[in-house]
Structure 1
Amino acid sequence: MEADRTVLGHFCGTRTPRPQLSGEGMDVMEVVFISDASVAMNGFRAEWQIIDVIAAGCGGTFWKPAGNFTSPNYPSAYPPNRDCEWHIRTAPGTRVQITVHGYDIEAPTHTDECVFDSLKVRQALIN
């Protein structure tokens, strides 16, 4: 399976990201959480909904029209060195919107780059 991926957002720190909406024609939203061996914060909880355009654990693939998932161990501190990917699949003619709540991830460096723990939201078209 080959994918055409576009990063919609890359987040770290304690400022809650605004909702992320996949582009029309993109049938997967991938959410990737990464933690390193240093600082552990409380993590996040996210929910998604499928938007009709025409009218926990650590990763997984969702086909439901709405739901939620959390970073590992949320609302307690997430474990170090975790790479989690969630794939939210949708049907043709719909888009995915993700809204993040309770956001608490290690702050960015002085350059505002997310080089340590981060939450990245991407859209993809799986061929």
Structure 2
Amino acid sequence: MPTVARRANPADGGAAGLLTILTTLISGTVVVAVVLSLATAAAAAGRARAAADAAALAILSGSPLAGGDGSPARDAGEIVARAADVTIVSLDQADWPLAVHVVTEIDVPLIPWMPRVLQARGSAALDPPDPP
């Protein structure tokens, strides 16, 4: 016996089309939110790296080899870090007065599903070693 296709019921009112549009809008919004979150994180990480390098340079300005008084210019590094909205969490002076290494943190409030705090490392050296 042949099967006869049933005609669409006008009472359905195009629910499938509406559901497709709604699903597309929701998934598109999620994709845009993820892309914006990743872009925000990448920009914040770059800013934290640049601030770590700048803070290391400012701290190294206290080196006698740079014309400083011989002690690390920590206050100058803190000023640079605050200007970039980052916090210095670590300062390695093992190579003083030739180099300093700084670790900074930056808060990224727009990313609820990722770590809110990103860390970056920066260094400054007056006489970097020769490459191997």
Higher RCO (CA < 8 A, seq sep 6+): 1
Structure (1 or 2) with the greater helix fraction: 2
Does the alignment reach a TM-score above 0.5? Answer: no
- Whichever of the two has the greater Rg, that structure is 2
Q: What TM-score, normalized to structure 1? A: 0.23
Structure (1 or 2) with the greater strand fraction: 1
